[in-house]
Amino acid sequence: MKVIELHKSVTESNDRDADKLREELREKGVFLINLMSSAGSGKTTMLSRTITDLKDRVNIAVLEADIDASVDAERIAALGATSIQVHTDGMCHMDAGMTREGLNNMDLDGTDIAFLENIGNLICPAEYDTGASCNVMILSVPEGDDKPLKYPLMFKSSDALLLSKIDALPYFDFSMEKLEERVRYLNPDIKIFPISAKTGEGMKEWEDWLLEELATWKRG
């Protein structure tokens, strides 16, 4: 398993560099999705299921970003999907330059969608444009329905929210109604998909939306 060690980008303006990366990826025909969440919300499990469900329809590659370890990239690679692990030298987010460096180390020929599995926390990743054309976040039921109150920027910056581990709803004091009200207050247009990657519930709705977003992006 190849592991890339990243260091802080020296680019003057990350926003400008992110726009540049978006253009480069459009030329390559790769739709980049920035996937953000707290640690342990089920990003890799969700991705694994999505890759398996859609394997006859789209080619998905995954750029795994972590402080340390490469367990996630190994799980994705075991599915036969293109994946690479990058380490962020202790940094709590990915920026556009770091994302480009990771992608440049991957063979993206024939790739339709590349997921950037961002560093696991609800704060720093929301502050940096990675060059992705779509931002998706995951919140898991055990984390609680009060998270939009505490981490508003992440909810504001996302095009879609996957509410994961809904199979655990009976065991937690979690109000779907309160969550939705708090999320919509911050971001009226966000798509919300309650899912369980374990039972498969809700996965089809999310995957249909993903394919539609890809089609819309391809039309430019």
The footprint of its own copies (CB under 8 A) covers 38-40, 66-69, 71, 90, 92, 119-124, 127, 140, 142-144, 146-147, 149-153, 165, 167-168, 171-172
Nearer to its own copies among residue 91 and residue 108 (C-beta)? 91
**Residue among 25 and 36 whose Cβ is closer to its own copies:** 36
Q: How far is the CB of 129 from its own copies (least distance, A)?
A: 15
**Residue 88 vs 111, nearer CB to its own copies:** 88
Residue (176 or 211) nearer to its own copies, CB: 176
Alpha-helical segments (H) within the chain: 14-28, 43-53, 71-77, 96-104, 147-150, 152-156, 176-186, 203-218
Q: How far is the CB of 205 from its own copies (least distance, A)?
A: 23
Whether the Cβ atoms of residue 192 and residue 178 lie closer than 8 Å to each other: no
Q: Return phi, psi of residue 153, to 5°.
A: -60, -40
What's the rounded Cα separation, in Å, for the pair 63 and 114?
Answer: 7
Which residue in this structure is represented by tokens 């640690």? 39
Minimum CB separation of residue 91 from its own copies in Å reads 8
Taking the complex as a whole, the smallest distance from the CB of residue 161 to its own copies amounts, in Å, to 15
**Tokens encoding 157:** 């910056």
Report the nearest approach of its own copies to the CB of residue 88 (Å).
Answer: 9
Q: Which is nearer to its own copies, 123 or 211 (by Cβ)?
A: 123
Q: In sequence order, what are the residues at sequence separation of 6 or more whose Cβ sits closer than 8 angstroms to the Cβ of residue 165?
A: 41, 42, 140, 141, 142, 196, 198
